Amino acid sequence: MIRAVDPLDPRSGSSQFEQFELSRFTASSRATRGDRYEALRLRHLVQGTASTDGNTRNFSLSSQMIRRTASRVAILIALVALLGAGCYDRPNAAPAADKQAKGDIAGDSAARPAGPRVITAQEATRMLAADTAKRAAALKRTHRDSVALASMTKPDSVLDRLWPVKTPAPLPGAIFPEHRVVAFYGNPLSKKMGVLGEYPKDQMLSMLDYEAARWAKADPSHPVIPALHLIATVAQGAPGKNGLYRLWMRDSLVNEVYSWAKARRALFFIDVQVGKSNVPAELPRLRQFLEHPDVHLAIDPEFAMATSGRVPGTKIGTLDAKDVNWAVDFLDEIARSKNLPPKILIVHRFTRNMVTNAPTIRFTPHVQVVMDMDGWGPPWLKFDSYHDYVKAEPVQFTGFKLFFHNDTKTGDPLLTPDEVLRLTPRPLYIQYQ
């Protein structure tokens, strides 16, 4: 039986939503930046916009939607059936159609063009021929943002010596450090979880080509590879039948989005929000996809709630380096046993406690690790967080996330490739939500 899952709703959560005071997080010391980020996120929840575009997300049917559609039972049943076709939360719930979809992936790999599509600066110039100076003319930064960017980009005699991280020579087929990846993030079942599901497929893919071309033009030294980044395991505000507060997308949905990526010769990332489960329990089911050379992995500590026991979305979660290292070892074994090019592991981070013991995270010749600064907010806060939680704690490579809506909701223009490229180290993984 398919049933709707209650969404994350501050009205049904703890009293912290009513009692939370943002003012206590306005101090300017670096030690409180993570707390200020959490305050901004929780205020976002209080205002009832938790699922509009931020990292706190859930695309289950809301009670308000159900009330509005109560008089149209037939439509509601059809909608629930559609959602049921895309997701499940139990290992044995996958329908027979998923087995067929698995076969489709294996069967067409030989016909796929070799290697991912690469957008060079020359190609980008042609793609952006219609782009005018209008975008640049509209770009106005506050004094605080300008000062923050200048501060974060000036030479740092201590931290700059830590970059680039010393790594073995990349194996054949490695993406980094020679290329940059530009990815669109989300889930096609929801317009509120990111750009991947916000627009019709063809429009979304055209937008991805455009953004990838902008990055290729801004940094000709790093040809750009486009990517689609699907949330395949989604944290939930309700426990579900297994009590793990997470929902699995059906294999058929993963295959569908993967087919979009393959058609564009783009990379494909599978994102995991473990809820109250854990990394070792959640990754093995994804092995069938990760055994393909163009499929990579991401894990999101924001929604890892086993340590705190809290409901996803009511508090920022955490993973330890040992969890990340388990994922590294998992990918390493796949790459070695299947003789694949190096895998990429994306680890999201925008507060210190999201990833504990980060200096002990390992990488291998077969697994390239990216620490992705994925917090939203004004530019100064994004710059500071990149400095404090990514640059100051080197792992291997770095990423930077841009939110089409949440980064611009107070009137700030979206950060441009040229602005982000002023950061040191330059991020090699760029994600748009």
Q: How far apart are CA 82 and CA 77, in angstroms?
A: 9
Beta bridge partners of 260: none
The answer to whether the CB of 335 falls within 8 A of the CB of 328 is no
Q: Say how far residue 136 (Cα) sits from the centre of its chain.
A: 27
Domain count across the chain:
1
Specify if 223 maps to a domain.
yes
Specify if 12 maps to a domain.
no
At 369, is the secondary structure helix, strand, or coil? strand
How would DSSP label each residue in 186-239? EBTTBSSS-HHHHS-HHHHHHHHHHHHHHHHHH-TTS-EEEEEEEEEEEE-SS-
Specify if 182 maps to a domain.
yes
Whichever domain contains 190, its CATH number is: 3.20.20
Q: Which H or E run contains 280?
A: helix 279-282
Specify if 42 maps to a domain.
no
Between the CA of residue 421 and those of 58, 130, 184, 220, 429, what are the distances in Å? 32, 23, 19, 12, 11
pLDDT at site 154: 77
pLDDT at site 223: 97
pLDDT at site 136: 52
Specify if 102 maps to a domain.
no
Interacting residues of 424 by C-beta distance below 8 A, sequence separation 6+: 153, 156, 160, 163, 391
pLDDT at site 123: 73
Interacting residues of 225 by C-beta distance below 8 A, sequence separation 6+: 116, 117, 118, 119, 175, 179, 180, 181, 182, 212, 266, 267
Beta strands in 260-301 (DSSP E): 267-272, 295-299
Specify if 76 maps to a domain.
no
Specify if 262 maps to a domain.
yes
| Nearest-5° Cα angle at 332, 233 to 369 | 70
pLDDT at site 8: 34
Residue keyed to tokens 């980094």 = 176
Domain membership of residue 248 as a residue range: 121-432
Specify if 110 maps to a domain.
no
Q: How far apart are CA 328 and CA 332, in angstroms?
A: 6
Long-range CB contact pairs, 380-384, < 8 A, 24+:
380/142, 380/144, 380/145, 380/147, 380/148, 380/149, 381/33, 381/36, 381/37, 381/40, 382/407, 382/415, 383/148, 383/149, 383/151, 383/152, 383/423, 384/30, 384/33, 384/148, 384/152
pLDDT at site 147: 81
Diameter of the chain by CA atoms?
66
Tens-level pLDDT at each residue, the chain (433 residues): 322 333 333 223 332 222 222 222 223 333 444 444 444 443 343 333 333 334 444 333 334 433 444 444 444 444 444 344 444 443 333 333 333 333 333 334 334 456 888 888 777 776 676 554 455 545 677 888 888 777 777 788 889 999 999 998 999 999 999 999 999 999 999 999 999 999 999 999 999 999 999 999 999 999 999 999 999 999 999 999 999 999 999 999 999 999 999 999 999 999 999 999 999 999 999 999 999 999 999 999 999 999 999 999 999 999 999 999 999 999 999 999 999 999 999 999 999 999 999 999 999 999 999 999 999 999 999 999 999 999 999 999 999 999 999 999 988 899 999 999 999 999 999 999 9
Q: At what angle do helices 143-153 and 379-386 cross, to 10 degrees?
A: 20
CA dihedral sign of residues 403, 407, 411, 412: negative
Amino acid, single-letter form, for residue 107: G
